[in-house]
């Protein structure tokens, strides 16, 4: 997935990029991600100003994650917009002259893979829910409360009055 600045500047039509990218290595350390499908990359590179190229498009993929509350499997569809502007630098630029919106490239050729990977990682959800009203797991026995209730006593007692909980049961003995 490389762009040649000179070829693109002299071209009459934009450069279309349609590829798939394996991003499984990027999420290898995350325990909440079970599987990730290859990312479908659909980009269009257009010449902009002098020595500038706009790259726009979409990244699409599927990620199987664990629900943050009940740990059931959730398939998340990702539709990520991609928009970057690259400027080819023929000579070094002073820091005060840099534009924050541009990505400065020193070579005539730019590889888009690191930028696509970065965009993918930044758009991954931190956590997902299987449904908005997911009840989660019982904190005592681990029962999935979406599938049914458990027999655990989950009444919340004020900690200041917890000592009185067994008061009447001791006197009956």
**Region 72-101 average pLDDT:** 76
**Region 155-167 average pLDDT:** 77
pLDDT at 173: 47
Distance CA 33, CA 47 (A): 38
In DSSP terms, 60 is beta-bridged to: 40, 79
pLDDT at 170: 56
Name which of 31-40, 42-51, 52-61, 153-162 the model is least confident about: 153-162
Nearest to 135 by CA among 125, 149, 122: 149
b/e map of 8-17 (b: 16 or more CB within 10 Å)? beeeeebbeb
Asked if pLDDT for residue 113 goes beyond 60, the answer is: yes
| 29: three-class secondary structure by DSSP | coil
Tokens 């931190």 locate to 126
**Region 128-138 average pLDDT:** 89
Residue 98's pLDDT band (cuts 50, 70, 90): low
**Region 88-95 average pLDDT:** 62
Residue 79's pLDDT band (cuts 50, 70, 90): very high
**DSSP 8-state secondary structure symbol assigned to residue 170:** H
């Amino acid at each position: 997935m490389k762009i040649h600045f000179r070829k693109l500047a002299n071209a009459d039509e934009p450069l279309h990029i349609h590829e798939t990218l394996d991003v499984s290595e990027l999420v290898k350390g995350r325990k909440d991600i079970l599987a990730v499908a290859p990312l479908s990359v659909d980009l269009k590179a257009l010449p902009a100003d002098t020595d500038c190229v706009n790259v726009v498009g979409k990244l699409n993929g599927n990620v199987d994650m664990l629900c943050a509350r009940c740990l059931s499997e959730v398939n998340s569809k990702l539709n990520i917009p991609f928009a970057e502007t690259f400027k080819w630098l023929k000579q070094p630029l002073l820091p005060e002259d840099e534009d924050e919106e541009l990505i400065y490239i020193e070579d005539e050729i730019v590889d888009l893979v690191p930028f696509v990977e970065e965009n993918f990682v930044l758009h991954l959800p931190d956590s997902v829910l299987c449904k908005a009203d997911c009840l989660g797991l019982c904190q005592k026995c681990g029962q999935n409360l979406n599938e049914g209730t458990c027999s655990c006593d989950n009444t919340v007692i004020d900690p200041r009055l917890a000592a009185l909980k067994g008061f009447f049961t001791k006197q009956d003995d």
